[in-house]
Amino acid sequence: MENIKLFLQAVIILFAAPILPGIINRVKAFFGGRQGRNIFQLYFDIYKLFNKGIVYSNTTTLIFRIAAPAMAALSCIAALIMPFGGQSGLLSFSGDFILIVYLLALSRFLLIISAMDTGSPFEGMGASREAQFAVFAEPVFFMSILTLSKITGESSVHGIFSKLSPVLWVENAPVLFLIVLSLFIVMLCETSRVPFDDPDTHLELTMIHEVMVLDNSGPDLGLIFYASAIKLWILGSFVSAIIMPRHSEIFWLDSLIYISGLAIVAISAGVVESVMARVRLLRVPQFLLAAFSVAIMAFVFQSLKG
């Protein structure tokens, strides 16, 4: 039975992830007074892309050709380490979030070098920005996880998630609130959403993530869309697990809570996207440093308490 559950979890993660961008789009459409795209639009997009041919730039090398499948594979693996609701992930060990962060870093590395591989100045621009923002976002993530680990006394994602409970919220509300804030900001930055990057923009000079995949086409582009949806799922899970702490031992109920938590995260991302403009590129590091100070504040509060 346990094995079936684990298998089911993996299937749900790998197949449900593309819904999240759909939810965000629907929220944006609601705010804009439009009917909006189908919630499953990304599935159709990926399906369509998988039926197309590929155009490779003739400056590119092998790196460009393996980057997209490798990125998708790395994201999937990182997602499988994540626990599902209250259940442990397929792989769970002490310090597994470090592996998750570094698997995502490897996929970022591949994205950057494949963008540089095309020799396009626009993609170079995006690559440079992606590398720069990660420098500010990663410490925020680690700082938040440090605080979480300190509150719960655990050092694996599953351990941390399973110790989170409504009771913990009563005792540590301010700290947890600050952590949610900083993790949410990190999520928006790492998944290239407003206010850091606008997935809808169509001016190459101002884009970050979208500009790096200008030369990807067909199945490759589909895999990259898929990988970023999974990344949103992974980072959203951290926020979701804190805002909707699990409180039952029933698999189905926990899973439902977990997924509805993710839906709430996606809706909030959509709301942020609708009510906020993108910040100027030069302001992004300051924005992330603000998130860093929020994370440090959470740690200081926690230390003073204990």
Partner 1 sequence: MAIIIASSLIFLFAAFLNLSVFSKYRKVNFINSVISFFASLIGFGGALAELSYGGKFSPINNSSFLTYFRLDYVSCFFLLALYLIVVAVSIYGNDYLKKMEEKKQLNFFWMNFHILVFSMCGVLLSKNAFLFLLFWELMAFSSFFLVMTDHKKKEVQKAGLIYLCANGAGALFLIAAFSLTSDSYFNFAPAMSGSTLAFFFFLVGFGLKAGFIPLHIWLPEAHPAAPGNVSALMSGIMIKMGIYGIFRALSLLSPWQQSWGWTILLIGIISSILGVIFALAQHNIKKLLAYHSIENIGIIMIAMGLGILLNLKGFNELSMLSFCAAFLHTLNHAIFKSLLFMSAGSVMQASGIGEIDELGGLARKMPQTAFFFLIASAAISGLPFLNGFVSEFIIYYCSFKALSSDSLFTVFSVLALSITGALALACFAKAFSVMFLGSPRKIKTESVVETGKYMRAGMAILSFFSILIGILPYFSFNFLFSKFSPILTESHVWHEISRIFIFFTGTYLCAIFFFAVFMFMRRKIVSENRVDLAPTWDCGYLASSPKIQYTGSSFANPLIEFFSIINPPSASYPAIRGYFPSDNSYSSHPRAFFYETLYKPSIDKMRKMASFFSFIHGGNLRMYVLYIFLSLLALILWKI
Report CA torsion sign: 24, 89, 231, 235.
positive
Answer for which of 6, 29, 39, 77 binds partner 1 (CB under 8 A) is 77
Which string of x and - marks every residue 182-211 that binds partner 1 (by CB under 8 A)?
----------------------x-------
Beta carbon nearer to partner 1, 4 or 304:
304
- Minimal distance in Å, beta carbon 19 to partner 1? 20
Question: Footprint of partner 1 on residues 142-171 (CB under 8 A)?
Answer: 142-143, 146, 149-150, 155
Using the rule CB under 8 A, give the single segment among 28-36, 127-135, 177-185, 256-264 that binds partner 1: 127-135
Is residue 288 at the binding interface for partner 1, with CB under 8 A as the rule? Answer: no
Q: Residue 87 in 3-state DSSP?
A: strand
Q: Residue 84 in 3-state DSSP?
A: strand
Question: Footprint of partner 1 on residues 225-284 (CB under 8 A)?
Answer: none
Answer for which of 2, 4, 53, 275 binds partner 1 (CB under 8 A) is 53
- Within 13 Å, how many C-alpha atoms sit on residue 301's CB side? 20
Is residue 56 at the binding interface for partner 1, with CB under 8 A as the rule? Answer: yes
Answer for which of 17, 20, 23, 112 binds partner 1 (CB under 8 A) is 112
Beta carbon nearer to partner 1, 134 or 269:
134
Crossing angle of the two packed helices 41-50 and 219-243, in degrees rounded to 10: 150
Euclidean distance between CA atoms 70 and 63, whole angstroms: 10
Beta carbon nearer to partner 1, 101 or 264:
101
Contacts for 227 with CB less than 8 Å, ≥ 6 apart: 68, 71, 72, 74, 75, 107
| C-beta separation of 126 from 112 below 8 A | no
Answer for which of 31, 43, 132, 163 binds partner 1 (CB under 8 A) is 132
CB atoms within 10 A of CB 249: 8
Distances (CA, A) of 83 to 25, 90, 182: 26, 8, 21
Is residue 120 at the binding interface for partner 1, with CB under 8 A as the rule? Answer: yes
Answer for which of 16, 135, 167, 250 binds partner 1 (CB under 8 A) is 135
Which string of x and - marks every residue 92-111 that binds partner 1 (by CB under 8 A)?
-xxxx-xx-xxx-xx-xx--
Answer for which of 61, 165, 248, 260 binds partner 1 (CB under 8 A) is 61
Q: Which two tokens stand for residue 11?
A: 């299937």
Contacts for 193 with CB less than 8 Å, ≥ 6 apart: 24, 187, 199, 269, 272, 273
Is residue 55 at the binding interface for partner 1, with CB under 8 A as the rule? Answer: yes
Using the rule CB under 8 A, give the single segment among 29-37, 139-147, 167-175, 269-277 that binds partner 1: 139-147
Is residue 7 at the binding interface for partner 1, with CB under 8 A as the rule? Answer: no
Is residue 91 at the binding interface for partner 1, with CB under 8 A as the rule? Answer: yes
Answer for which of 6, 12, 219, 274 binds partner 1 (CB under 8 A) is 219
Is residue 6 at the binding interface for partner 1, with CB under 8 A as the rule? Answer: no
Answer for which of 5, 29, 218, 279 binds partner 1 (CB under 8 A) is 218
Is residue 303 at the binding interface for partner 1, with CB under 8 A as the rule? Answer: yes
Based on its alpha-carbon atoms, the radius of gyration of the chain, rounded to whole angstroms, reads 19
281: Cα separation from own chain's centroid: 20
Report CA torsion sign: 168, 259, 188, 128.
positive
Distances (CA, A) of 5 to 80, 90, 198, 252: 13, 10, 37, 10
